[in-house]
Amino acid sequence: MNCRVYSIAGKELRDIEMDDAVFGLPVNEDVIWYAINNELANKRQGTACTKDRGEVHGSNAKPYKQKGTGRARRGDKKSPLLVGGGTVFGPKPRDFSYSMPKKAKRLALKSILSLKAQSGGMKVVEDFTVESGKTKELAGLLDNFGPGERTVIILKDDDPLIKRAGANIPWLSFLSYNRLRAHDLFYGRRILMLEGAVKNLNEFYNSREAGK
């Protein structure tokens, strides 16, 4: 499929060939859902912790005798029924992360790229950088593509200058062509892909498919 390439001023320049095996696939919603949930699960810290009745501080002695008081039976002051007692079935530190098959992950990313390309949510922009590293310069370039909204810029390589310029823009994030994230791509309202990143993505996924 062909796609228009825009200048940093927001004007149409030329067409670029986008591989149908990456940008022209039918959208697989199921695998997208699994990929996004996998990323969110892997980001969970899993540090929540509560103490059960065997871990809270307190005596193991009965607070009063078993019979004759008219009160409920108590084994110790650490009962979950009492203030300061242990927690029943509370959370413990655990690892929420899990691995996802590589083929499924690649299919999810290509499905999202295809969805954005086919729905008009993606624009290809000529390669550029922000040599000054200043936020004001980058913000001025982004204004040429519409009002500020959740935007993802897909880079052709690791560009520290443009990343530094965008660090203070809360609705902007950067992804390298070989380190995409399904969550950021799917929920990005506007995807700006550098022209060089398109070529790199075509080669990157084709080489992955060849090597399986």
Question: Are β-strands 2-6 and 12-17 bridged in parallel, bridged antiparallel, or unpaired?
Answer: antiparallel
Residue 161 lies in a domain: yes
Query: What number is the average pLDDT over the span 30-39?
Result: 96
pLDDT at position 14 over 90? no
Q: Which amino acid is at 122?
A: M
Q: Which amino acid is at 70?
A: G
pLDDT value, residue 206: 76
* Digit-coded pLDDT (tens) for 93-129: 999 999 999 999 999 999 999 999 888 889 899 988 8
Residue 201 lies in a domain: yes
Q: Is 85 helix (H, G, I), strand (E, B) or coil?
A: coil
Residue 116 lies in a domain: yes
Give 132's pLDDT tier (boundaries 50, 70, 90).
Answer: confident
pLDDT value, residue 205: 81
pLDDT value, residue 199: 87
Based on the structure, what is the number of domains in the chain?
1
pTM metric for this prediction: 0.82
Beta bridge partners of 122: 191
| Nearest CA-CA partner of 177 in 198, 150, 151 | 198
pLDDT value, residue 211: 54
Residue 42 lies in a domain: no
Residue 132: which CATH number?
A: 3.40.1370.10
Residue 107 lies in a domain: yes
| Nearest CA-CA partner of 6 in 204, 142, 172 | 142
| Nearest CA-CA partner of 154 in 172, 128, 176 | 176
Domain span holding position 139: 2-29+101-211
Residue 198 lies in a domain: yes
